[in-house]
A and B are shown apart, each in its own frame.
Chain A
Amino acid sequence: MCSGVLNCEGMADRSAVLATHSGALFRYLCRAVGEAEAARDLTQEVFLRATRTPMPANGNGHVTAWLFRIARNLALDYHRGQRRHPPVEVLRDQVARSASQDVELAVNQALASLTDLDRDVFLMREVAGLGYEQIAAACELTPDAVRSRICRARLALREQLAAPIATSRGPAAQRSLNTKTRTDQ
């Protein structure tokens, strides 16, 4: 009676799996769509879709990839919707914006400048903590392609976020780097 979509035997497991991945999914979606509220809604949507489709039974890695594939598709749909119906720009008080908000904005803009695939591969690794194999399964790529895309995204973001990176690196690390460089010379 409970076969296919219903998959009764996996219901308890499924809830546990969703609970385990909820944090990583939310964090990934937060950066993928750039809005916490939308990320919350999309995470819920991932849960709903995951409960309506059969869960892969090939181990945790496959389940993780499956959930992130759903999340990625939802994020892409969200971006398509945003392109069709661009949100009305809200005028924000530029003076009142804090430094951390500036960094947030810069990070979101830098991420938006990447291709969809590079951005998603990077975020799945850096924000959600997936391994190359899992990312490859989620994005239908080879692990080698994931490796080079992550590297390319990092280099592009490093260039675009030079100022926040320099601030975040801190003076101690900067001094250490300068000292080491002088020693090398």
Chain B
Amino acid sequence: MSNAEVLSAFLDGEPFDRGELAGALEDPEGRRLLFDLLALREIVQPEESIPHLPIPKVPIRFAVRAVFAAAVVTLALTGGYAIGVKRSSASEVQAPAPTRIVEGTTTIAEPVEGGMR
């Protein structure tokens, strides 16, 4: 790692080699860089104060809606099934009595031996 990388990792509390840090700090330019990076950290902080940001309560509303929708669908399916069962058992349709009977003869053509020609 270069001096800059060692100092950068040191500033960030990330792992670094102590020997490399000692070497970087022995160099006047390394010390200057360390001071500059600390100053840089200070000046890049935003001045704006953190506003009060309300946390949306969307999930609860979504959950209520989803539960309601699921209940409606379940009710509709159960109701439809129940109505269907009731109708099928209560109103069994009887076949009408025959008014006349048509009798006919059937003629079956015997196949010729040897298969089709």
The interface of chain A, by Cβ under 8 A from chain B, is 1-2, 5-8, 11, 14-15, 18-19, 22-23, 26-27, 30-31, 36, 39-40, 43-44, 47-48, 51-52, 100, 103-104, 107, 111, 123, 125-127, 131-132, 147-148, 150-151, 154-155, 157-158, 161, 164-166, 168-169, 173, 177, 180-181, 184
Contacts of B70 in A (CB 8 A): 1
A interface, by DSSP: helix, strand, loop or mixed?
helix
The docked-state distance in angstroms from the alpha carbon of A177 to that of B2 is 21
A154 close to B28 (CB less than 8 A): no
- Asked if B59 and A158 sit within 8 Å, CB to CB, the answer is no
The closest CB in chain A to the CB of B67 belongs to A1
CB-based A-B contact count at 8 angstroms: 122
B39 pairs with A47, CB closer than 8 A:
no
Is the beta-carbon distance between B31 and A177 smaller than 8 angstroms?
yes
27 A-B pairs with CB atoms under 8 Å apart are A5-B62, A6-B59, A6-B63, A7-B59, A8-B59, A22-B53, A23-B50, A26-B48, A26-B51, A27-B46, A27-B50, A36-B46, A44-B56, A47-B55, A52-B58, A100-B47, A104-B47, A107-B43, A123-B44, A126-B40, A131-B14, A147-B5, A150-B8, A151-B4, A158-B36, A169-B35, A173-B35
Question: In the complex, A108→B59 CA distance in Å?
Answer: 36
> Binary interface profile of B, 56-70, with partner A (CB < 8 Å = 1, else 0)?
111110110011001
- Identify whether the interface residues of B are mostly helix, strand, loop, or mixed: helix
Complex CA–CA separation, A8 to B59 (angstroms):
8
Contacts of A161 in B (CB 8 A): 40, 43
Minimal Cβ-Cβ distance residue in A for B3: A151
Contact (Cβ within 8 A) B55 A18: yes
B44 near A11: Cβ-Cβ < 8 Å:
no
Q: Are A51 and B40 in contact (CB under 8 A)?
A: no
Is the pair B56, A27 in contact by a Cβ cutoff of 8 Å?
no
> Which residue of B37, B47, B51, B60 contacts A11 across the interface (Cβ within 8 Å)?
B60
- Find chain B residues with CB under 8 A from A2 CB: 63, 66
Residue of B nearest to A26 (CB): B50
Q: Which residues of A contact B39 (CB under 8 A)?
A: 164-166, 168-169, 173
Identify the closest chain A residue to B33 (Cβ). Answer: A158
Please, which residue of chain A has its CB at the minimum distance from the CB of B65?
A: A6
**In contact, A22 and B36 (Cβ under 8 angstroms):** no
